[in-house]
Structure 1
């Protein structure tokens, strides 16, 4: 387990006056694991924002983190409700967060949704891609001013999208968003979307780290929330996979360790400075199973602006 490495690296965040960390999807699974790891290693010197749909779960997690931080620190916590499948919700919740936190040091995006068929939101976006790409893109876009403030103060300014780095596939720029056809390749394309998203944001925002990570096989409740009967049923076999899976706490430690260790190199993983691809043990994936071109990155950016009804950054 990478707890020592993560502890040494995350401890540097505590030198600031209450760094602010926002965890979108932080009320369960990997997001929860990363939030709790951050809480432990900053030893109560932080403000943690959990974003999700389940207030009861958030309050339970916050109570647990308060106990872990103890009475010696000045830790503070809050919950912001948001169904991230709707871009309008993302913009509203991000505005709420920014109004209270004009400086943000860490933004972790890990919301997940399992599906085998296209299911459109009321905004006309596939729900899986809305949660795992468009909503993340929008959260980053809306909170960029706060991240830039952290960078200008010479503090950490880091973003991590936890999805499927190193498991990408070719993308079709004539069918971005999979409106013409839908297949299992949407998952691989979504991974490439996240790679290209991090690269474009990094190019436009020197000094801010943008990382796309692959968590590996993690014991979470994601399958239970799927709209697929088959995927929900397969959850009963999860205990059999225990030897080849990790807990959400272990996953959080590995990913934090990778974010600090790899980002310290400054080179970037796939030729774009400030953009990184991180594996399940915190390793630098480089260009392993990398897809996408600068032209596709530009096309995806322009498509996303239109799809999210957002002015260009």
Structure 2
């Protein structure tokens, strides 16, 4: 996934430059130190952890899954959720081979833009595992066109960037609680754009009336902040976090819904500015550090691009808006069958 600076409305060279420069200017933590910290954290666990990586077939999700597999030495139950089976099987084939009989590495296919798909794959997950220690969600969708509704009446971009994350968390939170009851980590992470949002319009939640690329880019991060907080209020023993990955070298532009010319320009921008961008592998380590080591207590957390506590910087929203968004989301994601 590639994060946009909140001052810009559409993807393009200016946005890429701004976001890359912002990321580059951050006070960077040593990646070697982060890797060592992550390795030490997992070596200290006295159990075989279970992790779900939604959007784990490429980009940041792939980076997180690889880092997790490496630091657990393959001794974990890992489920990658995404659309690309071939990519997932290739990733899993390169994981360290487990020595524990409890460890498994699996893939479940799911187009997360549809809530009915999430409902089905969540039921499958519940049939396969009795607990979840880490639920990491990082699916991405890029478009330069207008509102594109799914068959369920949601804008596809908002469905991927917000509703899917709410849906997975809501469907699987009991498995997080099961892990907590065992005295183990129980944490959910949405990787999108903490600190890059804006005020939300409670009179048009879901942007059916006022959709634009700018509005979608600014409101989805705030939706994720408010979602994280409300889940934390409703499930006070669990850790919920929303992170911004910064500017990362991913293939999101290659699959963007845009013209061939725009796609070519995006690719050129990535090439020219590649030295400023974080690799998916390093970003995976930073995000893993954020959810495993920094978000070290139950509640709602916001994590920056180097896995550090973002606190309330560039925060929008109120308790009233949070409650209205929750009610809207329950109604929007409810089964129409």
The answer for the alignment partner of 2:328 in structure 1 is 303
Query: Residue 274 of structure 1 is aligned with which of 299, 305, 314?
Result: 299
The answer for the alignment partner of 1:290 in structure 2 is 315
> Structure 1 CA distance, aligned partners of 2:130 and 2:123?
10
> Structure 1 CA distance, aligned partners of 2:104 and 2:200?
42
Query: Residue 77 of structure 1 is aligned with which of 85, 91, 105?
Result: 105
1:278 shift after superposition? 0.3
Whether 1:261 and 2:293 are equivalent positions in the alignment is yes
> How does 1:17-56 map onto structure 2 within 5 Å?
18-56=48-86
Relative to the length of structure 2, the TM-score reads 0.86
> Structure 2 CA distance, aligned partners of 1:169 and 1:228?
25
The answer for the alignment partner of 1:270 in structure 2 is none
> Structure 1 CA distance, aligned partners of 2:53 and 2:104?
14
Deviation readout 1:227-268 (Å, 9 max, x if unpaired): 12265221232121122111101001111112233222x3xx
Gaps of 5+ in 1: 267-272
Whether 1:236 and 2:259 are equivalent positions in the alignment is no
> How does 1:51-70 map onto structure 2 within 5 Å?
51-65=81-95, 69-70=96-97
Deviation readout 1:15-54 (Å, 9 max, x if unpaired): 21x2110000011110000000000111122010000011
The answer for the alignment partner of 1:90 in structure 2 is 118
Q: CA distance change for structure 1 residues 81 and 237 in 2, over 3 Å: closer, same or farther?
A: same
The answer for the alignment partner of 2:255 in structure 1 is 225
**SS of the counterpart of 1:3?**
helix
Query: Residue 148 of structure 1 is aligned with which of 170, 174, 177?
Result: 177
> Structure 2 CA distance, aligned partners of 1:144 and 1:182?
31
Q: Given that residues 148 and 208 in structure 1 are in contact (C-alpha distance below 8 angstroms), is that contact kept between their aligned partners in structure 2?
A: yes
The answer for the alignment partner of 1:123 in structure 2 is 152
- Highest RCO, 1 vs 2 (Cα 8 Å, sep ≥ 6): 2
Whether 1:182 and 2:204 are equivalent positions in the alignment is no
Gaps of 5+ in 2: 1-30
The answer for the alignment partner of 1:171 in structure 2 is 200
Q: CA distance change for structure 1 residues 155 and 39 in 2, over 3 Å: closer, same or farther?
A: same
> Structure 2 CA distance, aligned partners of 1:259 and 1:22?
13
1:11 shift after superposition? 2.9
The answer for the alignment partner of 1:269 in structure 2 is none
Whether 1:157 and 2:186 are equivalent positions in the alignment is yes
Q: Given that residues 202 and 209 in structure 1 are in contact (C-alpha distance below 8 angstroms), is that contact kept between their aligned partners in structure 2?
A: yes
Q: Given that residues 9 and 257 in structure 1 are in contact (C-alpha distance below 8 angstroms), is that contact kept between their aligned partners in structure 2?
A: no
Q: CA distance change for structure 1 residues 124 and 148 in 2, over 3 Å: closer, same or farther?
A: same
> How many pairs does the alignment contain?
299
Alpha carbon RMSD of aligned pairs, Å? 1.5
The answer for the alignment partner of 1:114 in structure 2 is 142
The answer for the alignment partner of 2:36 in structure 1 is 4
